[in-house]
Amino acid sequence: MRKDKLVAALLQAIALSALAGLMIITVFIFKEGLPLIFRTGLKDFFFSADWEPGKGNFGIMSMIIGSLAVTLGAMLIGGTLGLGMAIVLTQFCPPKLASLIKPTIELLAGIPSVVYGFMGVVTLVPIIRNYLGGPGLSVLAASIVLGIMVLPTVTSISIDALKAVPRSYWEGSVALGATRWQTTHMLMLKAARSGIVAAIILGMGRALGETMAVIMVAGNALEVPGSVLDPVRTLTSNIALEMGYASGEHREALFATGVTLFAVIMIFNTIALSFARRTIRQGRGQ
């Protein structure tokens, strides 16, 4: 009995310390970053593209746009592909084959991001430079690399969402004469809608937070991109690139960039979570 209590207390302590760790990190980031945002002014911080730490200009708009462009591009590519794969694997492919392919896709998530970045630099960037023009290091390159990186997230969560749709719906539709494809787009996608939205949003969160691979292929130029072939710098890249030598206000500004990222990702995750909960409730037929 006493041993049980001891173990319970120990586990509680571990859980609490993990939570406390998270809290401390959050508080720290906000404490370091928030004052600068207010000192610079919300308008000059978020809506100015002037980032010259030496002169005291801390406008992050070009990086916000960079992050959004790259994330959007990644979702256009990775979201479409991932959802497409989930549809094929759950609706059209023999279950045995699907149960073989799904873990393979999930394995993609385990490859370190440098490897993705490296592959991008070696293969993708030259192709873009030679065939489409521009420096090659670009929004497009980053979007494609990120699109592939979010594939496992989008695919596996979408698969789970589609699999959670009761089989009785599917049978009802087929018994009415609907083809597989009609059943998929008229019924399954609608029934799994919230889970699929959750998958896309979680994928977006991943794309937005990814750093290493993006630094390697995005070009990191401090300007608002005019086309998908232009180089960009994202919020995460900015922090990673400058943290090494930043001090004083510059360092604070990087933390402020972190605060921005943190807020956006929190919003994404909250939305995703609320959609995921809805799916579970629907699955129970409530």
Partner 1 sequence: MNPKIETKKLNLFYGNFHSLMDISISIPAQSITAIIGPSGCGKSTLLRCFNRMNELIPEVKIEGQILLDGEDIHKPGTNLIRLRRRVGMVFQRPNPFPLSIAENITYGLRVHGTPEGQKPADIVEKSLRGTLLWDEVKDNLNGPALALSAEQQQRLCISRVLAIEPEILLMDEPCSALDPIATDHIEDLMRDLAQKYTIIIVTHNMQQASRVSSYSAFMLMGELIEFGRTSRIFKNPGDTRTESYISGRYG
Contact residues for partner 1, defined by CB under 8 A: 94-95, 166, 168-169, 171-179, 182, 186-187, 190-191, 282, 285
Q: Which is nearer to partner 1, 187 or 239 (CB)?
A: 187
Where residue 285 falls (left for φ over 0; alpha for ψ -120 to 50; beta otherwise) is: left
Q: Which is nearer to partner 1, 15 or 176 (CB)?
A: 176
Q: Which is nearer to partner 1, 48 or 282 (CB)?
A: 282
- Smallest separation, CB 280 to partner 1 (Å): 14
Q: Which is nearer to partner 1, 190 or 277 (CB)?
A: 190
CA distance 237 to 133: 23
Q: Which is nearer to partner 1, 52 or 171 (CB)?
A: 171
**Which amino acid is located at 6 in the chain?**
L
- Smallest separation, CB 163 to partner 1 (Å): 15
Angle between helices 235-242 and 193-209 (to 10 degrees): 30
CA distance 187 to 97: 23
- Smallest separation, CB 282 to partner 1 (Å): 6
Contact 255, 32 (CB under 8 A): yes
Q: Which is nearer to partner 1, 176 or 280 (CB)?
A: 176
- Smallest separation, CB 196 to partner 1 (Å): 14
- Smallest separation, CB 166 to partner 1 (Å): 7
- Smallest separation, CB 179 to partner 1 (Å): 7
